[in-house]
Amino acid sequence: MALGLTHFLVVSALLFCLGLYGVLTRRNAVAILMGIELMLNAANINLVAFNKYVAPAALNGQVFTLVVITLAACEVGVGLALVMAAYRNLETVQVDRINMLKW
């Protein structure tokens, strides 16, 4: 059986759902961040697969993937810095305990 576009799309959809599940259920800010990374990587698999199977004439999908990888790295940098700053004051990274502001 040849490897087709569908295989890539199924893997990417599973990865995306896994990431979304992590984002919605985890209470640890770092674990949520990991879920977000999974979602971005799912998009990357999509982009590269579509580039190969749907629009092989141009490299748009590959370039988009490189941009998304860079964005993910920047996001982790800023995100971990914010988590660190909060950890110094609140001594926790559990988001359900960072709950001063509500209603």
Partner 1 sequence: MPIPIEDLWSLVPEFWLAALGLLLVLLDLFLPGDRKRLVGWAAVVGLLLVLMPILGMLGTPARTVFFNTYAVDGFAVFFKIIAVVATILVILSTMDALRGHTSFEGEMYVLLTFAALGVCLMAASADLILLALSIEFVSLSSYVMAGYFKSDLRSNEAGIKYFLFGAASSAVMIYGFSILYGLTGETNLYAIADRVRTAPQPALVLAVGMALAGLGFKVSMVPFHQWTPDVYEGAPTPVAAFLAVASKAAGFAALVRFLMVAIEPGPVDWVAPIAGLSAVSMTLGNLLALPQRNIKRMLAYSSISHAGFLLMGVAAHRGDFGAPGLLIYLLAYTFTNLGAFFVAIAVGGRLGSDEIPSYAGLAQRSAGLAAVMALFMLSLTGIPPTGGFLGKFYIFGAAVNNGLLWLAVVAVINSVVALYYYVNVIRVMYLLPAPSGGSASGPVPLRLALGVAALGTLVIGIFPQPFVTLVGAAAMLLRM
Q: What is the closest distance, in whole angstroms, from the C-beta atom of residue 86 to partner 1 in the complex? A: 4
Measured distance between the N- and C-terminal CA atoms of the chain, rounded to whole angstroms: 55
Query: Where along the sequence are the contacts to partner 1 (CB under 8 A)?
Result: 9, 16, 19-20, 23, 29, 32-33, 35-36, 39-40, 42-44, 46-47, 49-50, 54-55, 60-61, 63-64, 67-68, 71, 74-75, 78-79, 81-83, 85-86, 88-90, 95, 98-102
CA atoms of 53 and 60, how far apart (whole Å)? 13
Q: What is the closest distance, in whole angstroms, from the C-beta atom of residue 40 to partner 1 in the complex? A: 5
Residues linked to residue 65 through DSSP beta bridges, in sequence order = none
3-state helix, strand, coil in the chain (%, to 5): 80, 0, 20
Residue nearer to partner 1 on the CB measure, 11 or 68: 68
Residues linked to residue 28 through DSSP beta bridges, in sequence order = 94
Q: What is the closest distance, in whole angstroms, from the C-beta atom of residue 1 to partner 1 in the complex? A: 21
Query: Residue type for 76, please?
Result: V
Q: What is the closest distance, in whole angstroms, from the C-beta atom of residue 11 to partner 1 in the complex? A: 13
